[in-house]
Structure 1
Amino acid sequence: MRMISEFTIELSDIDRRVLTQRATRVRSEVRDSLRARIVLNAGEGRSNAAITRDFSVCVDTVRKWRRRFSAGSVEGLKDLTRSGRPRRFTAMAVAEVKVLTCALPAEVAVPLARWSYRELAAEAITRNVVDSVSVSTVRRWLHADAIKPWQCRSWIFPRDPAFAFKAGRVLDLYDRIWDGVPLGPDEYVISADEKSQLQALARRHPTLPPAPGRIRRQEFEYRRGGTLAYFAAYNVHRGRILGRCAPTTGIEPFNALVEQVMHTEPYASAKRVFWVVDNGSSHNCARSIDRMHDAWPRTRLVHLPIHASCLNQVEIFFSIVQCKVVKPQTFRIWPHSRNDS
């Protein structure tokens, strides 16, 4: 005898259209498509047993979705809200771990420079914040608030009381203005500085170039050739560089750079040459201004504010040198300077 379900399905045109879309749409979830097809077949008057046989599902599954649709229409085919597993950690415990993360390890008597997930988990257990916690759980808590304890960003306060005046004066020079008067065609602006502590390292074996299926290979062992300092003078408006290397930094190698530039045209016959420098030991304080003017009366040494080397245009050139010349550190060293590392 045929069993008649107590939940008779009568589909409206709207319900039939929505269910047909779910059943035939390629990107529908499999579960949503199956539920829609069960209800559509039930709406055609087919029995639970026939639907079970056609879709290879349990008869209780067919009964469930027939009943749910009968009670709530299309909305009844949605999954019910689930309570999920009970929370293991209280909101207070999570907050205390985040507070611990935002403190430097030294502030809480931990001999570390920075936290890691594993160390935070261990410290939370030591402080009885939680009985136990996994590293992945701590990672998930911090990720929710985008807290990354291993990252840092350097900062510094401008402490030069004449910062605005000195910076404005240099920026005017970059715009070819001095004391409110435009510079003439025979006046030049030089940005100068030194790049110190350049290690001259020579690899024991030649570097192998990249090849199909192989990246460039560089020998790990090296020979030391000492350290060098690179002094550079950058013509701000013409983009020209004059430079020299020296064993160390200091007043004498900087003066040698100035002499090299001032004996080179067009600076040798210029009306004035402005030298923009930072407050490094090679050219700081008022004595450096007097010393340079006495040696080269047509020059004018202009200091940047303290901690404002970012305004020095030659730093852009140094960054290019660092990326394209210094790295990777492979130099050709004279035989008499080779020392094993």
Structure 2
Amino acid sequence: MPRTGRPKAELILTDEEHQTLTRWSRRRKSSQALALRSRIILGCGQERSNKEVATSLGCTPATVAKWRNRFIADRLDGLVDEPRPGRPATITAEQVEDVITSTLEQTPKNATHWSRAQMAERSGLSKSTIGRIWKAFELKPHRADGFKLSNDPLFVEKVYDIVGLYLNPPESAVVLSVDEKSQVQALSRSQPAFPMMPGMPEKRTHDYARHGTTSLFAALNVADGTVIASTHRKHRAIEFKKFLTKIDKHVPDHLDIHVVCDNYGTHKHPLVRNWLGKHERFHIHFTPTYSSWINQVERLFAEVTRELLQRSDHRSVQALEKDLREWVKAWNEDPQPFVWTKTAEEILVSLSRLMQRTTGAGH
């Protein structure tokens, strides 16, 4: 006899509850946490099993069970805050919804985003209460991240191509992530730094003198983390061709070379194309526009910035270039490859979710 599991408490929605949950789940800019909880309850209200609801919404059956039980116990109020010991909550679900929607859909007078004090004044709640509501629904009005979605018509094809190289590299070939960190400045601080002491961080002056720039050309072997690098005072097509020649000399002759690089003009210059036409083992894979995140060498540039350039003090370009070469040499003594884990499908699903959250697509 098949197991039926523990019987679930019956969940029946009133017309008013159904309308409120539908509004919460469909609001274009609603809190994603509250929207998911609302869709869970609406699914449970259709007499579907926890497993069926979880599968349709992409969450776990345990999550469905948790919010089903919370709703049965506290109805709509159970979806907006954890029950706590002590005196009963004095904040209603409508007040919480008002704070959330106001945070997401409005801005205060003479400001670009809400502070706790401004929202407290508007809502009549305390600043600490506003803070707890924002924390519960992971709202951080003081923070902003930048992004730019690719408008490349071949975006999907390029993502599959490059991620395929990372996860399933071709046999008898090396995959190199290539780019230039251009205009690296040789900077000298106007005064010597005060060294770090117990209870006091290192102190540096904010002003400095410029002594010229150089560009770091780098090719990261995505399999073993080793780096081929050069420094050039300019980053024209002729310098890029010289760097490709250096790569050609470093990579054993029996291996094909797959180069992942961005759409910078020098990478597509006729001088470079002519050189590539004479070196058939080179295969160029261009990243989608505005998608530097898919080029692994950018992680290497982040490391050299953090470890060397951020606090550097160089009084000549020659000194800067020497330190860059020494940094790459030290890196190659114990190379650390950056392990790529996401498949192309997972990347495209994540971008689809971002589009839905930012534009309301699909609602």
TM-score tier (shorter)? 0.5 to 0.7
Asked whether the 8 Å contact 1:188–1:270 carries over to 2, the reply is no
CA distance in 1, matches of 2:292, 2:110: 34
Give SS of 2:215's match: strand
Structure showing greater radius of gyration is 1
CA RMSD of aligned residues (A): 3.9
Report the AA paired with residue 281 of structure 1.
Answer: G
Distance 1:157 1:332, change over 3 A: same
Aligned match for 2:265, one of 281, 286, 310: 281
Aligned counterpart, 1:38: none
TM-score (ref. length: structure 2) = 0.51
Which segments of 5 or more consecutive residues in structure 1 lack a partner in the other structure?
Answer: 1-80, 336-341
Can you list the C-alpha shifts for 1:245-303, whole angstroms capped at 9, x where unaligned?
344544333223223333x3335x45532211122333259x68734423544422221
Pairing of 1:1-341 with structure 2 (within 5 A): 95-103=97-105, 105=107, 110-121=109-120, 124=122, 135-136=127-128, 138-143=130-135, 145-155=137-147, 157=149, 159-174=151-166, 177-178=169-170, 182-183=171-172, 187-211=173-197, 214-262=200-248, 264-267=249-252, 269-270=253-254, 272-284=256-268, 290-294=273-277, 296-333=279-316
Which segments of 5 or more consecutive residues in structure 2 lack a partner in the other structure?
Answer: 1-85, 319-363
CA distance in 1, matches of 2:106, 2:213: 35
Percentage of matched positions with identical amino acids: 27
CA distance in 2, matches of 1:119, 1:142: 13
Report the alpha carbon displacement of residue 202 of structure 1 after superposing the two structures with TM: 1.0
Asked whether the 8 Å contact 2:190–2:207 carries over to 1, the reply is yes
* Moved >6 Å (runs of 4+): 81-84
Distance 1:290 1:222, change over 3 A: closer
Give the number of aligned pairs: 234
Distance 1:226 1:100, change over 3 A: farther
Report the AA paired with residue 295 of structure 2.
Answer: N
Report the alpha carbon displacement of residue 232 of structure 1 after superposing the two structures with TM: 0.8
**Which structure has greater helix proportion?**
2
Can you list the C-alpha shifts for 1:128-163, whole angstroms capped at 9, x where unaligned?
x65xx6644543553454432123344554544434
CA distance in 1, matches of 2:208, 2:202: 17
Asked whether the 8 Å contact 2:212–2:317 carries over to 1, the reply is no
Q: Which has the higher contact order (CA 8 A, sep 6+)?
A: 2
